[in-house]
A and B are shown apart, each in its own frame.
Chain A
Amino acid sequence: MMTPASAETRARRADLRRGYGFVAPALVWTAAFFALPIAITAVWSLFTRSGRTRDTSLSLANYERFFATPGFLSALVNSLEVAAIVTVVSVLLAYPLAWLIAFRVPARWQRLALILAILPFWTSYIVRSYAWLLVLAPNGVVNQALMATGLVAEPVSIAYSRTATVIGFVHFFTMLAALTIYASLVQINPRLLQAAGDLGASAVQTFWRVTLPLSASGVAVGAFLTFLITIGDYITPQILGGNTDVVLPQLILFQITRRGDIPFAAAMSLVLMVVISVVYILAARRLRMRT
């Protein structure tokens, strides 16, 4: 005869086994096709390529080459600079946009306003970058507008530069960050804002002391996603940057596709991964978004 206690333990154990059983497929998939590939990438980054063959003795040669060559290192610096600028500018633009929609657009129009703000998100990422080339061209819309208003006499050269890359990125991430920031703004209890007002806080004070801190998680999530995707993206700088301020992903793809130097690409990819992880850890505390 089983005692009631042991029956309960058994039931609990079966429950646990089932729980793990349900979670297992997702975990196995992530382990096999995410963790394992990265581990293998790390091993391959210690190989070296000499001519056509691969030297599988382990060494740090690829990392030495990366950090000792100013050209490669400058790509990392470019990547960090571009990602930082894009993140800051995108958040600075997205915040007022999200704020306007959340607090100044009547409730029944909010959903529409938000959907309109993120609709172009669904155009092809590649084609959108390329469309910016047409917008920024010497005879494109931007230059024509600038010249019509008399701001400039000659067309300004913007396409094929870091500025163009940044504009292309900022466009995309303003939409994305506006979405995450809006999500955290609408969760703020209106009574809190009212209470601040009742206690004598000015609108500006209420914003700095109440609204901003309470929407910090939305800002953090938007900023992190922006940073993550910007620093790992190849398309936008390749199309808009004109190969003049090369960033890390461009170098990585260059090594993969033209040189066939996979070990070196693996090493650079690991450098990229470490940079992202560091930023993630720094941002992690703020990233918990309430849904």
Chain B
Amino acid sequence: MTGGKGFARLIAVVAALAAFYVFIYLPVAVLVLFSFHAGTVPVPPFEGPTLEWYAEVLGNGRVTDGIFNSILVGALSSLLAAGLGFLAAYGMARHSPPGSTVIQAAIMMPLTMSYLVIGLGLLILFSSLGFGKSLWLVGIGHVVINLPLCFAIIVSQLGGHQAALERAARDLGASEFQVIARVTVPLIWPALFAAFCLAFTFSWDEFVIAFLLTSFDVTLPVVIWSMLRTGLNPETNAAGTLVFLVSLAVAVAFELAISRRKGTSP
């Protein structure tokens, strides 16, 4: 292969990748750019920059309440999803009860259904039981959609080398609860944390279930949706940019958890 050909090939690869990245980053760039737009109407051409809309959005009680509610729902539902997912994964991996494939399929089922179908089902269930709409119901729904993901992540990490350590602990007289608390959980912390982070980002950005199951106290995506329907200004862009930053932080934490695990496995 001649150097010229290799170089041409390199250029082609870089150009192709660049084209993809432009496509992928186009809306994000425009979104962030117009969050600094000085006019009240976020349409081209761009004027500015100004930080006015960030001040506005952080001073907006509905947005800050929404952020707070989203963190609350996200944290609690993801903890529960990761917890239930862990228990199920542990049970499957260590006790392998008969009918494993059926059980696994049952746990994974919500992953194959639209959030809309799940949300409407919960709306009907709770309204026929006479429960009022609330953030708790949203949390329940988010556990439903995130449980399969957490289960899948954790079950793939419950490998044989932990089993050996667990057996050793049991042989030394530890009860099963002690084994889980002292051996299993510390060993697979990164997987649990990764599952939690992933579940959190899904909950944080989930709209339709939250929209159907809340009334006054709503999560951030519902606030953003109503901002979008009720006022044309770059505040929406600023809110979107802030959401991006928060999700990014969680995603980076997730990434670190994954790479730590990789880096430390023998």
Contacts and interface: CB of A to CB of B under 8 A. Distances in A.
A120 B28 contact: yes
B92 A23 contact: yes
Nearest to B121: A37
A274 B46 CA distance: 46
Nearest to B84: A26
Contacts of A122: 201, 205, 244, 247-248, 250-251
Interface string B85-121: 1011011101111100001001101101111111011
Interface residues of B, number: 79
A124 B144 contact: no
B156 interface: yes
Interface in A31-60: 31, 33-38, 40-41, 44
B103 A124 contact: no
Nearest to A128: B27
Contacts of B228: 126-127, 130, 239
Given A33-B144, A141-B30, A131 B88 contact: no
Contacts of A93: 20
B38 to A, nearest CB: 15
Nearest to A43: B124
A96 B16 CA distance: 9
Contacts of A26: 84-85, 87-88, 107, 147, 151
Chain A interface main SS type: helix
A174 B237 contact: no
Nearest to B112: A280
A134 B243 contact: no
Nearest to A35: B109
A196 interface: no
Interface in B99-154: 103, 106-107, 109-110, 112-118, 120-125, 128, 140-141, 143-144, 147, 151
Interface in B227-257: 228, 236-237, 239-240, 243-244, 247-248, 250-251, 255
Given A18-B95, A104-B13, A234-B116, A131 B28 contact: yes
Interface string A160-195: 000000000001001100000000000000000000
A40 B124 contact: yes
Contact of A30 (B23, B24, B106, B239): B106
A131 B240 contact: yes
A21 B237 CA distance: 48
B31 A127 contact: yes
B22 to A, nearest CB: 10
A29 B84 contact: yes
B21 A134 contact: no
B45 A127 contact: no
A27 interface: yes
A100 B114 contact: no
B207 interface: yes
B59 interface: no
A130 B231 CA distance: 13
Contacts of B248: 119, 122
Nearest to A125: B205
Given A33-B144, A232-B114, A41 B28 contact: no
Most buried by A among B85, B94, B95, B208: B95
Nearest to B20: A97
Contacts of A139: 43-45
Interface string A117-146: 101101111111011101101011100100
B141 A123 contact: no
A113 interface: yes
A228 interface: yes
Interface in B186-235: 201, 205, 207-208, 212, 220-221, 224-225, 228
A222 to B, nearest CB: 14
Interface in A230-271: 231-235, 239, 249, 252-253, 256, 262, 265-266, 269
A27 B106 contact: yes
Contact of B90 (A22, A97, A228): A22
A3 B117 CA distance: 54
B222 to A, nearest CB: 9
B263 to A, nearest CB: 12
Contacts of A44: 124
Contact of B25 (A36, A120, A266): A120
B52 interface: no
Given A100-B13, A120-B28, A139-B44, A27 B103 contact: yes
B74 interface: no
7 contacts: A22-B90, A30-B144, A124-B220, A229-B114, A232-B116, A273-B113, A291-B156
Given A41-B120, A111-B259, A262-B124, 9 more contacts: A18-B91, A19-B96, A23-B103, A27-B103, A30-B107, A33-B122, A34-B110, A134-B27, A137-B43
